[in-house]
Amino acid sequence: MNKNEVIETLKLVRANSKKRNFKQSVDLIINLKDLDLKNPDHQVTQFIQLHFSRGKKAKVCALVGPELLEQAKEVCDLAVSLEDFPKYQDKKVAKKLANGYDFFIAQATIMPKIATTFGRVFGPKGKMPNPKAGCVVPPNASLKPLYERLQQTIKLATINDAILQCSVGKEDMKDEELVDNIMTIYNSVLHSLPNESHNIKEIIIKFTMDKSYKVGAKPLEEQKGKEKPKAIKEEKEDKPQDPKSEEQTGEKPEVKK
């Protein structure tokens, strides 16, 4: 995939978009192939920092001890103190927390307690604080720069299927911003795959509520789809019935008066 193909596909997406009463997200879907997801070397888990907006605010929750609590309350969308951990032993409460936030920051010195309290719920959802995203911090960390960086960070992961999908912005963003975000994600994913481009089946761009368009495909054949020819009904000629048919079926041919 190259930049020009992305530009042309994005133009096609815009040209065929229906007017909505809200600004749609621009979605990127990367379908992968020839990967064994049971093999750790074939799994993809990436935190990619974009140059432009990701299209929506990232909600960030901090799981911290007393050293970072006041700062976390000021900077993050929610701060959960060590003293509040016991109530999250309730699985329903922990699930609600996991579903409500995009990223979780953890104070490194209490990571064992975080793993014990939240691991069984956060782990399967891919929400555990991740060092790759810079989300495990020392007790003297400055949280504001991390919070701001997470606002332009995309997480991509192959969990059960060989597919990666995310929002790369909003439809009212400039084309060059969206294209830059798409190419940043593509290049990062490409270099994380064992066989790089050979592991990419197709790349799709779409507005959330509109049709999907494959990058690099021919518009007439791939994007708009081929119309299936309608079945042609054969007209039966008004011919005398085959004399054998009466013997084969036991029915007499209808005689028109």
The structural domains of the chain, with segments of one domain joined by +, span 1-56+152-225, 58-150
d(CA 236, CA 105): 74
d(CA 38, CA 234): 53
- Radius of gyration for the alpha carbons in the chain, expressed in angstroms and rounded: 28
**Across the beta sheet with 103-107, what order do the strands follow?**
78-81, 60-64, 103-107, 136-137
Per-residue pLDDT, averaged over 124-142, amounts to: 94
Which of 19, 31, 17, 20 has its CA nearest to residue 217?
A: 31
pLDDT tens-place string over residues 14-39: 999 888 889 999 999 999 999 998 99
Query: Residue-wise over 185-202: b if at least 16 C-beta within 10 A, else e?
Result: bbebbeeebeeeeebbeb
244: helix, strand or coil = helix
d(CA 230, CA 97): 53
Q: Which CATH class is domain 58-150?
A: alpha beta
Per-residue pLDDT, averaged over 134-143, amounts to: 96
How large is the angle between the packed helices 3-15 and 175-190, nearest 10 degrees? 130
CATH architecture under which domain 1-56+152-225 falls: 2-Layer Sandwich (3.30)
pTM to 2 decimal places: 0.77
pLDDT tens-place string over residues 160-171: 889 999 999 999
Contact 247, 239 (CB under 8 A): no
